[in-house]
Structure 1
C-alpha cells in the first residue's frame, strides 16, 4: 500500500506581522509543493527518506510514540516525522516515509516559501489515510497547526498552515478564523502578475518575530496608534481583492509597505537588507512594486504589477543584475 499527498508553500502578500495581533492577512498558496508519501516495504524496520539530504534513515517508534533513530539522526530534516507520529499516536511498522521538498530549493539553497507549513499539512493527511484514522478536516488542520507550532517553538500565527491546508490559491485569514479552521477564498485578478526574486540574504522568522515582540513591548503607544491605522488599511486591501481591482490592490500594498517601513525603523527589525533596498530602487526606477517576502530580511522578495509590459522589462533588469526569478503561481 502506498499513500501520497502534496501541499503548497505560501507567501504573505499583506498582513504578515499584524496577523500576530489578529489582523487580516492575504496569503498566496504557491506552485511549489512538498510531497509526502508512506508505503509498505519488506525490510524489518522503518525508513525515512529525505530528498533534501538524499539519504535514508532507519527508525523505530517506542511505546510513548517517540521516534528513535537507529544509526544516523536526520536532525531537523526528520523533525516532522517525530512530531506527527507523537501527535497522532501511531506506530509505523515496516514503513517507508518520504519527504520531498525539492521544489522549495533553487541552486541548492532552500527558499523561504513556507516548506515547513507545507510538510505539516501533507504529512498529517498522508498518515491519516495510511492508518485509516478517519480524522475530520478540522481535526487534520488542527494537528497540522499543532506540529508546525512545535517545530517553530510556538512562534508565528499559524496562518501559513491554514493557507497550505486550504490549498485554494489566494486566501484571506486572521487568528480568529484560523482558530475556527476557516478562511476566505479570494480570486486572483486576471491582470495582476507576481514573481519571486531570490536574494543571497538569510533570516530567521523566529528571530524576526522575537525582535518584533521586543519592539512592541518597548513602544506600546507608538504601536497601538500604528496598529489602528494599519488594521483599517488591511480592511481596505480586503475590499480591493473582493472588487478585483488590481490597481487599487497595488496602491494599497504600497501604502501598507510604508507602515512596514515605520515598524522596521522603530523596532530595528532588519526587514530591508541591502539587497532588498537595491531591489526596491530598481523597482522604483521601473515603476513597479517590490517588497521583501514574509517577515523580511530573507532570501525572497515579491514583484507585483498589473502591467505585463513593465513586468517583462523589469525581469530583464533583474537578469542583468544577476537576481534569479521564480514563478509563484
Structure 2
C-alpha cells in the first residue's frame, strides 16, 4: 500500500495579480492535508473518497488508456492527475498498472464546511505523488509541480497554479505565475519528459521564513466562495479598465516584493505596512471590477485584528472563506480570537506547514 499527504494553502498577498504571467504572490502551506492511498494488484480499478461516501468511480484500461464514465463525477482533478501522470509513465516506456485509489481530506471541517484551503490543488498533488511512488518515478519538486500544474489547469482552465506550488513545496513561498499560453502550445509540440526538463517562462518559486516574533492567524467567515468564478468576473472587467488594471498589477507586484524583502530581512514593519497596502489594492480592484472581494464579515474580521495590534486582509479570491492575520506574539491573541467568536467568525487552528 502507498500513502501520500499534501497540505492545503492560504494566500498572504498578491491575489488576482498573480494570475497574470510573471506577477508574484506569497502563499503559505497549512497543517491540514489531503491523503491519497493506493492499493495495488486489484482486479478492478476504482476511486473512492471519504468526502463522497456514496460515490465510487470504476474505470478500465483500453489500450493502456484510463477510461472512465465522467457523468456525475466529483473526481475530475484526481482523474486528470492520473491521466497526466500515466501519460508521463508511458512516455518513459513503462507499463501502466491497475489499482484502487482512495482519498481522505481534512481541509474542510468534519461537518463539510469548506474553508477555502485549496483542496483541488492538494488532491492533484497528492495523487501524483502517490502514483510516482507506484511507478518508481524519481522526480524533483519542480517536476512534480509541473505535472500537477498541467493536470490542474486542464480541469480549471484559469488561475495562477500557486496553490499547486504551495502543496508541492510547503512552508511559505513567493510564487510567480508562468506563461500558461506557452504551456498550452508546447503540450502539443513536445513529449512530457521533454516539457518537464524545460525552463517554464516566468516561473519562480522561492522559499521564505516567517520571523519568529510574528504569529500567523486565520479566521473563517462561515461563507464559502468560488475562486474560479471570482477570477472569471475580474477577467471580464479588466479590459474596460485597462489603465487602472495595469496600475493594480504594478502596485501589487511592488507590494509583494516589499513583503518578500521584509521576510528575508526580518523587517516586521515592512511586512505589516505592505500587508495593509495589499488589502487596499484589493479593495480598489473590487470597486473597479464590481466583485465583492472583501465581504462585510471579512471587513469585521480585519477590523477586530487591527484593534488588537495585528494587520489583516482577505486570503485568496475573497468573497467569503478566510481572512489572515499577522500579529506580534506578545499581543493579546486570546482576546482577538474571543472577539472573533463574538462576531460569528471561527478562528481556525492552522499554522504554516513545512515538509
Quote the residue 1:163 is aligned against. 166
The verdict on how the C-alpha distance between 1:307 and 1:131 changes in structure 2, with shifts beyond 3 A counting, is closer
Quote the residue 2:185 is aligned against. none
User: Does 2:278 match 1:278?
Assistant: no
State the shift of 1:316 in Å.
1.1
How many residues are matched? Answer: 321
Quote the residue 2:73 is aligned against. 75
State the shift of 1:64 in Å.
6.4
SS in 2 for 1:227: helix
- What aligned pairs does 1:135-284 form with structure 2 within 5 A after superposition? 135-152=139-156, 154-167=157-170, 169-176=171-178, 179=201, 182-284=204-306
Quote the residue 1:4 is aligned against. 3
Deviation readout 1:67-119 (Å, 9 max, x if unpaired): 325xx96612x2233212321237442x2211111343353212200111111
Over the aligned positions, Cα root-mean-square deviation in angstroms equals 2.3
Distance 1:233 1:180 in 2: 18
- What aligned pairs does 1:42-121 form with structure 2 within 5 A after superposition? 42=42, 44-55=43-54, 56-63=56-63, 65-69=65-69, 75-76=73-74, 78-87=75-84, 88-89=86-87, 91-93=96-98, 95-105=99-109, 107-121=111-125
Distance 2:4 2:243 in 1: 46
The verdict on how the C-alpha distance between 1:104 and 1:41 changes in structure 2, with shifts beyond 3 A counting, is farther
Distance 1:197 1:162 in 2: 23
Distance 1:49 1:148 in 2: 19
Deviation readout 1:146-200 (Å, 9 max, x if unpaired): 1111221x20011211121112x10112125975765211111111112221122
Ranges in structure 1 where 5+ consecutive residues have no aligned partner = none
Q: Which moved more, 1:56-65 or 1:309-318?
A: 56-65
Deviation readout 1:214-233 (Å, 9 max, x if unpaired): 22111011122333233222
Distance 1:137 1:272 in 2: 34
Q: Which moved more, 1:118-127 or 1:33-42?
A: 33-42
TM-score with structure 1 length normalisation? 0.89
Distance 1:280 1:182 in 2: 30
TM-score with structure 2 length normalisation? 0.83
